[in-house]
Structure 1
Amino acid sequence: MIFADAHLHITDLAFWRPLSDGQDISPVCSCAHSEDEWNRLLRVAENYPGLVLRSAGVHPQNPDKKHMAFVLGALEKNEADAIGETGFDLYSDEFSSRVKEQEEVWALQLEAAQRYEKPMVIHCRRALDRIFRDAKKLAKLKSVVFHSFAGSDTEALSLIKRGVNAHFSFGKPLLNGNKRALRCAAHLPFDLLLAETDAPWQTLKGETATDPADIKKVYEKIASLRGENPAAVCERLYKNFKNAYGLV
């Protein structure tokens, strides 16, 4: 089966390779947020052609404008499959104190996503109002992936109604009993869903890191919520993965 992982961080992992037990495979989209991370991601991707999509972005937790240089360079060379993760993080006072910088690099990446016709991967914590503010601009993009979407199913559908070609990705919060994530994964139209691990981040209690192989647990949870056969869920979410990242 194909367990597509819509979002993780290969360069933050001590080791990564695709699932290789039996016939299971795991195409992924991995983000990089500095020139060093980007170069390391390129080297990994070269070893697994067709399995590692590469996303370059300035993360809202470190919204330093200098990182735009590597993002634009990757786009100019057509090395990047997507832009991100980018967006807003107002979860803590530390992150909120840099909201002006977040706004600046967000605007630059939004413009770049439209100019280079690339999907955008969005990180959004306690800032969904800013996403709705820019819905008209997002509607001009090729596609938008909401990594670990924290909104409600109503808010997700509202973005779709505003013309945003969005997919909503869910991961370990499903295993942690997050009510909003569970409701979205259970009730949103199937063609809007993606699965992710965010490895090595978003750990459960007692874990020190998220294993990329946990993607199977996420798929099993979605299958249970939807009352679907796991193989059918794999097939449908792989189709969504390809649609979201422009592979079809």
Structure 2
Amino acid sequence: MILTDTHTHLYSEAFQEDRDQMIQRALDLGIKRFFIPAIDSTYNQAMFDLKKRYPENVYLMSGLHPTHVKENYIEELETVKRLLSQHSFVAIGEIGIDLYWDKSFLKQQQYAFREQIKLAKQYHLPIVIHCRDAFDEVFEVLEMEKGGDLFGIFHCFTGTLEQAKQAIGYQMKLGIGGVATFKNGKIDQFLNQLDISNIVLETDAPYLAPVPYRGKRNESAYLLEVAAKLAAIYQMPLEQVAQITTENSKEVFGV
């Protein structure tokens, strides 16, 4: 059984003390594929070091996270462009709009989102979307950019059934993680109305740990809890969930 964590920040400072042991715990459970989203240029070296250490298991994205769109965002976007021309990446992400923490950079976030979608199209890569308190704003950009060359993953999907269908309509898979195990997470109530071909698994480690680890540091090994929850929702064996969602990840990332 091979499981795929389509979104995990393995380079995070939260894993500074035990990164290798944490990754080994996941590998031992059959979680063999780790897709690593970018945040900003300050993490690039740590991401490259991770890839060098685990070349068979780690896949890197390039991008500027919406909460890191600040005064220097043009400079950061230039770094993303430069890296894309120099290295091989599997996606542009995580990108999008986040209005939870700060609304003052909305226009810059919208600009950065569109610019990075254009880069994804230029390099024939999927996008990985971060959306928090910003479904309308994200969908507005996707509507402007929609087409056969726009596809990817709606990371950490927490919306309604209607929003899920809308995202799928833009050729997005839904990244499902720990929220599916929360009592108030809500998405577990309608996921079975969507074909599992639209779903990929993720942890977003070190954030959003699933039950029974909620509130603690998340890690990729806990992807098993998410997979087990989906097995219950879709009434299918865990191995089948692992196989289907891993195939779905290959369809998106091409690896």
Separation (CA, whole Å) in 2 of partners of 1:68 and 1:8: 22
Tell me, yes or no, if structure 1 residue 226 matches structure 2 residue 237: no
Q: Which residue number in structure 1 is paired with residue 28 of structure 2?
A: 21
Tell me, yes or no, if structure 1 residue 105 matches structure 2 residue 116: no
1:68-147 mapped onto 2 (5 Å cutoff): 68-92=77-101, 95-134=102-141, 135-147=143-155
User: In the TM superposition, what whole-angstrom CA distance separates every residue of 1:172-192 from its partner, at most 9, and x where no partner exists?
Assistant: 111212443213433211110
1:155-234 mapped onto 2 (5 Å cutoff): 155-161=163-169, 164-203=170-209, 207-234=215-242
Please give the secondary structure, in 1, of the residue aligned with 2:11: helix
Letter in 2 for 1:5: D
**4+ aligned runs moved over 6 Å, structure 1:** none
The size of the alignment, in residue pairs, is 242
Separation (CA, whole Å) in 2 of partners of 1:233 and 1:195: 9
Letter in 2 for 1:223: A
| Shift of residue 36, structure 1, vs aligned partner | 3.3
- Check 1:178–1:74 CA distance in 2 against 1; reply closer, same or farther (3 A cut): farther
| TM-score in terms of structure 1 length | 0.90
Q: Is the 8 Å Cα contact of residues 85 and 120 (structure 1) preserved in structure 2?
A: yes
| TM-score in terms of structure 2 length | 0.87
- Check 1:44–1:174 CA distance in 2 against 1; reply closer, same or farther (3 A cut): same
Identity of aligned residues (%): 25
Tell me, yes or no, if structure 1 residue 244 matches structure 2 residue 244: no
Q: Which runs of 5+ in 2 are unaligned?
A: none
Separation (CA, whole Å) in 2 of partners of 1:62 and 1:219: 30
Q: Which runs of 5+ in 1 are unaligned?
A: none
Q: Is the 8 Å Cα contact of residues 7 and 196 (structure 1) preserved in structure 2?
A: yes
Q: Is the 8 Å Cα contact of residues 154 and 167 (structure 2) preserved in structure 1?
A: no
